[in-house]
Chain A
Amino acid sequence: MSFAVPAGGISSTPAVPAADNSVITLRGSTDIVVEFFEHAITCILYQRGIYPPEDFERKTKYGLALHVAREEGLVTYLKNVLEQLRQWLTSSNVQKLVVVVTGMESQAVLERWVFSVDTAQEAATNPQGYQAQKSQKEITSEIAAIIRQITCSVSFMPLLAERCSFDLLVYTDKDVLVPATWEDSDPRLIQQAEEVRLRSVNTKVHKVDTMVAYRMEPAGQG
């Protein structure tokens, strides 16, 4: 599916200098957003200490040293979810992607990382023809800024003292086609959460706003 990218992807052909405005289509933007989601999710999993450091490996991306998942089960899970997400993004059905961190002992939702996706109206109505212009460099720097903010979140968010699990929730439109491997879920909101708005990235096709909500007191004491 995304292998046929050249037509829709960022046309970073040698003829066009890197700094120049690149033409972005819905397909290309979807690739950027999905890749961003993958790195943002692994960054959260690593930085918040949900999985041990040995489950990750270092990689340079967006001009940053990032940690990507290495543990097999985790890689497979992410691949499955992101592949479905890519399809929904292509059909402009995604409203939000949410990373939910749950304490395993307390069974309480401790953190909720929300990526709200706003698809440009023209791109949704005319998925083939719509083209936007934005330089790749600019998008990369916007993504890098968000990843940095996730990394910095350790400084203000409470310690996840217990063993935690995570889940990915996708908010879609009502009329979306749902494969059998997916099920409806509770939104798993946090009552009386502290909320911190992070930066956003805009490809002119998709605008992704980032926000994190977390419980202030550790579970069981509040």
Chain B
Amino acid sequence: MGEDGMEKVSKQEASMVQKKEYHQALEAQLLDGEKEHRVLAFRNKAPLPKEGFQNHLQVLYTQNKGTAPSSLRSYRHIPSAPERILDAPDLLDDYYLNIMDWGASNVLAIALTQTLYLWNAATGDITELMSVPDADDYITSVSWIQDTGSHLAIGTASAQTQLWDVAAQKQVRSMNGHSARVSALAWKRHILSSGSRDATIVHHDVRVQNHHVATLLGHEQEASTSGIGGRSQTFSPRHRLAEHQAAVKALAWCPFERNVLATGGGTADRCIKFWNGANGALLNSIDTGSQVCSLLWSKHEKELLSSHGFSENQLCLWKYPSMVKLKELTGHTSRVLHLAQSPDGASVVSAAPDETIRFWNVFAGAGGERRRKDLLWEGWESRSCLGRCTSDRYELYVPCHGLGDASPRFPSVRLVAAKVSTAPPHATECCFPLLPPLSISLLLPCHIPPHTLSSVPSEDCILMHELPPPKTHVV
């Protein structure tokens, strides 16, 4: 009995201990390992900061705000003002003309009614190339030959297509084939295509006497040409793109995407449309809100520039293919009929019947020297010269101050010679890009001091660009 009682008590004690342990464990779990506690605070609180006091760290944080990644949208600066404005008196207000072109030789050709002016972008010189003799005649289109910019094709209201040698300032030939004014011109190597109000497009091979090689029919009104390829020499149109509701003057083939054509419609249409040139499918269409006068693709970025008429007379820069409007450039006071791009792709010139032509730095900083994509090869030719080869140019550099780790990107190296393709386009077709750089180094031995480079037989067009100053030259 007594033993039993003792046992009971000890059992009870054991269960009490167990319970207590259990409680402690439970507490520890529930309270996250924290001990039992009281949270106490002093009744008289600390004084409040002064009324109207603003945290002085505000400055620090607002200055940091700009670098916060969430708000960061890096994009190059596009100046909204033109870089230069030139007067262009008597510029015709005719939607169907193409009277401005910027050639590969960095010369801008612009026709002001009867006279054709050349503006050299490098020097700023203005030359009067020619005038049409007849009083009712006027120039309706101009186009530079591709690649070299040595020749200029001029179309007139008297249905003539003329070819001019610009360096000699002489007319090379005159070609017929149309019965009305020649309002559009485009080159493909030696083939010149001319579009006319007689609703035909004629291909001329400018090398041969019998220049007329093909005629394209199918238009009912004045034809516009834009870089028509030599392969499209069919006599009837391959596709008929009939979505636009008004005249289509603005045409531009996309330089970075095969077969993409951008077109812009006139006042009643106001749309920019994108087409697949291979099958004629409409890819995209956006309403711009005003007449589209001209379209231009960027050479470096996936961007498109369009020029517009009433009411803003603005230029719009679009991102392709999202067609987000990046920038609007205003300044012209009448519709911006013509656009042309500089050969380096950095500047754009616009012409309007408000008798001004304006130069815009739209694409400056895009591509360019900063990231030349077309650099094919770069390396040391010998111990003293550095060579580099791009798709159209071979350049040789001599360091000014010894060798070091100089490269064309660094200013301690000077360009002394460059090979450019100066032969007529048809002769260089497969000549230059395939020419290995090493064969040029044979042609131009590097032990020859750079200042005698001009005396190297330059049959294969080695050009002297700049001589390094003799005193700093160390070889």
Q: A residues within 8 Å of B by Cβ?
A: 48-53, 55, 71, 73-74, 77-78, 80-81, 84, 95-96, 104, 154, 159-161, 163-174, 176, 178, 181-187
**Contacting residues, chain A, for B55 (C-beta < 8 A):** 49-50, 159-161, 164
In the bound complex, do residue A173 and residue B35 qualify as a contact, i.e. CB atoms below 8 Å apart?
A: yes
How far is B60's CA from A145's CA once the two chains are assembled, in angstroms? Answer: 23
Taken together as a complex, chains A and B put the C-alpha atoms of A189 and B54 apart, in Å, by 25
Distance, CA A171 to CA B39, complexed state (A):
5
Task: Give 3 closest A-B pairs by Cβ, nearest first.
Answer: A73-B47, A49-B55, A185-B41
Determine how close the nearest CB of chain B comes to the CB of A56; give it in whole angstroms: 12
0/1 per residue, B21-51, Cβ < 8 Å to A?
Answer: 0000000000000111111111111111110
CA distance A124 to B57 in the complex (A): 42
**Least Cβ–Cβ distance between B319 and chain A, in angstroms:** 31
**Pair B38/A77 contact, Cβ less than 8 Å:** no
Alpha-carbon distance between A186 and B57 when the two chains are bound, in angstroms = 29
Minimum CB–CB distance from B66 to chain A (whole Å) comes to 15
Q: Is the CB of A80 within 8 A of B35?
A: no
**How many Å lie between the Cα of A160 and that of B54 in the bound state?**
9
Give the CA-CA distance A163 to B55 in the complex, in Å. Answer: 7
**Would you call B38 and A159 a contact (CB within 8 A)?**
no
Q: Could you write out 14 A-B pairs with CB less than 8 Å apart?
A: A49-B55, A49-B56, A50-B49, A77-B42, A77-B45, A77-B47, A80-B44, A95-B34, A163-B54, A168-B42, A172-B37, A172-B38, A182-B41, A184-B38
User: Is there contact, CB below 8 Å, between A74 and B40?
Assistant: no
Q: Is B53 an interface residue (CB 8 A)?
A: yes
**In whole angstroms, how far apart are the Cα atoms of A71 and B48 in the complex?**
11
Number of A-B contacts (CB under 8 A): 105
Cβ of B58 within 8 Å of any chain A Cβ, yes or no, is yes
Give A176 to B60 CA distance when docked, in angstroms.
44
B38 touches A171 (CB 8 A): yes
Closest residue of A by beta carbon distance from B46: A77
By beta carbon, the residue of chain B nearest A161 is B55
B61 at the interface (CB under 8 A from A): yes
In the bound complex, do residue A163 and residue B46 qualify as a contact, i.e. CB atoms below 8 Å apart? no
Interface centre among B39, B41, B46, B55 (most CB of A within 10 A): B46
Residues of A close to B53: CB separation below 8 A: 51-52, 163
**Chain B residues, Cβ within 8 Å of A187:** 39
* Residue-wise interface mask of B (231-242) relative to A, using a CB-CB cutoff of 8 A (1 in contact, 0 not): 000000000000
